[in-house]
Structure 1
C-alpha cells in the first residue's frame, strides 16, 4: 500500500476540566463531563477517556496516527485548568508514542468557517454544511473539526474545503507524521 492509499486515523480533543469533547477515529463524538466535587480525580477521568479514544486499552486495535488538540487559550481565565488537563493528556500521548498537533481556536475557526473569530454557531453551521452532522454540544463540534483538520493535514480529508480555509492549517503546530 502506498502512502497515497493509506488511511490515517486521527482523534480530535477539545480539552476542558468540565467538558472535554472527543472525536474518535471512527468519527463518532462524546463529551467527558466531570464534577467539581471530584477534585483532581477529574484529571484521571479525562485521562482514562483519552486513553480509550487513542486505543490505549487492550483490544481496541492499533494506536492512532495523530491526535489534534485545541491549544491552550492565551489570556483566558480558563487557561490554568485547561493547562492541567493538557499536561495529563500530553504526558499520556508522550508515553504511548502518539504524535499530537496543537491548533489555536482562531486557526480552527478559520479552517472551519473562513473567519478566525465569532461564537460557536458558525462552527456548528459549517459542520452541518460540510458533513451533514449536528452535535450535542460545542465541545463535540470543536473536537470533530480538530479531527477533520488532522485528516486534512495528513491528506485524507473527509470532505472538500476551500483552499484558503485549508491554508489556515499552516499556522498550527504539526508533528513530524509521514503524510
Structure 2
C-alpha cells in the first residue's frame, strides 16, 4: 500500500493493539502479569515487549506512532500502572535504540484523526476504522482500531494516506511534533 513501514501501537498489558501501514493489525498481551512474582513479572514484560517489536518489525520501521501513556489519577497506582509504564518505556526504548523515529500521540489527537473531533467513545473509533479504513480488520477491538488509526495517521503524514480523510480529521497532523523522516 505504501512505500514506508509505519507502525501504530496502543500499548497495554493484556491487549496491545498493533498495526502497520500495510493494513495489518493484531493484538498481543498477557493476563495476570501484575500478580506474578517480581522475577517472573520482569521476564513476562520483557517477552511481551519483544513480541510487540517482532510482530510489527518495529525496529526496521520508518516511523512508529504510539498512543501516549496516561494514568488514571483515581487508581492511585493500582491496576498495573507500574507494569504498564515499564512495558511502554521498554518497548519504546528498544525501538528508539534502533534509530527509529517515534511520535507519541495524545488520545485527543488520535480521536481527532479518527473522528474529526478530540473526543468520542471507543466504539465510535472502531466504527470509524470500519468505514474509513476497511483494510484493517479489527474484529471490533478498540485497541486494534486505535493502532490502525495511528498507522494511518503516520502514513498520511508521510504523504501516503491510506484513505481520503476529511480536513477536520487531517487537522490531527498539525497537532503533533514530527521527527525528521525522509518522505
Question: 1:65 and 2:62 equivalent?
Answer: yes
Aligned residues: 168
The alignment's TM-score, normalised by the length of structure 2, stands at 0.82
Stretch of structure 1 that moved more, 33-42 or 137-146:
33-42
The equivalent of 2:92 in structure 1 is 90
Change (3 A) 1:170 1:55: closer
Of 37, 42, 45, the residue aligned with 1:43 is 45
Structure 1 gaps of 5+ residues are 1-5, 57-62
Q: 1:47-83: CA deviations, max 9, x gaps? A: 2123211265xxxxxx210111001125544754432
Cα distance in 1 between the residues matched to 2:21 and 2:162: 12
RMSD: 2.0
The alignment's TM-score, normalised by the length of structure 1, stands at 0.84
Change (3 A) 1:96 1:154: same
What aligned pairs does 1:26-175 form with structure 2 within 5 A after superposition?
26-36=22-32, 37=36, 39-52=41-54, 53-54=56-57, 56=59, 63-73=60-70, 75-76=72-73, 77=75, 80-132=82-134, 133-136=136-139, 137-175=141-179
